[in-house]
Amino acid sequence: MKNSELLPFNRNRYYRGKMLTSADFEAEQLYTNNKRRFINQMIDGSGIVCGLNVISLDDLSVMIESGVAIDDAGREIVVENSIVKKLSTIDGFEQLRTNNASLCIRYSEEENQPVYSVNHQEGQKEYEHNRIQET
């Protein structure tokens, strides 16, 4: 996602008697998220905000400490707990030709908490995910 996809900001307009739909609530979330991500990009840029130190535990294991980073789209990446990784289990390890490597993290969203969709129509999903977990 580049800056051009965030602009211009389009804010929901509420008025007395307005019939709200799921699209209105999605627009509200999109507006708020895009504003925050824009500010993250303009003020902080991308990279590590705090933590995320990488500590060598032995020849084949590292620990990544908890912390926060901002990706190039302004999205926050929060690592809640320290993580221990065996280097041999990381994709691409077998192709390394030197003793140096870069370790990267990326933003991801996972749908969770499936709930029954009361108003689903024939051909539509009977269950929808109630939440989106940012990881």
The per-residue b/e assignment along 97-115, b for 16 or more CB within 10 angstroms, e otherwise, is: eeeeeeeeeebeeeeeeee
CA distance 135 to 106: 8
Per residue in 66-110, pLDDT (tens digit) is 999 999 999 999 999 999 999 888 888 888 888 777 888 999 999
Whole-prediction pTM: 0.75
Instruction: Identify which has the larger pLDDT, 120 or 133.
Output: 133
Q: Would you say residue 1 has pLDDT above 50?
A: no
Q: What is the mean pLDDT of residues 4-12?
A: 74
Per residue in 27-69, pLDDT (tens digit) is 999 999 999 999 999 988 999 999 999 999 998 899 999 999 9
Is the distance from CB of 70 to CB of 49 less than 8 angstroms?
Answer: yes
Tokens describing residue 59: 């020849």
Tokens describing residue 58: 């032995």
Cα-Cα-Cα-Cα dihedral sign, residues 47, 32, 34, 79: positive
Instruction: Give the angle subtended at the CA of 97 by the CAs of 91 and 48, to the nearest 5°.
Output: 55
Which residue, 103, 94, 98, is CA-closest to 63?
Answer: 103
Q: How far is CA 37 from CA 13, 27, 31, 70, 109, in A?
A: 21, 15, 10, 9, 15
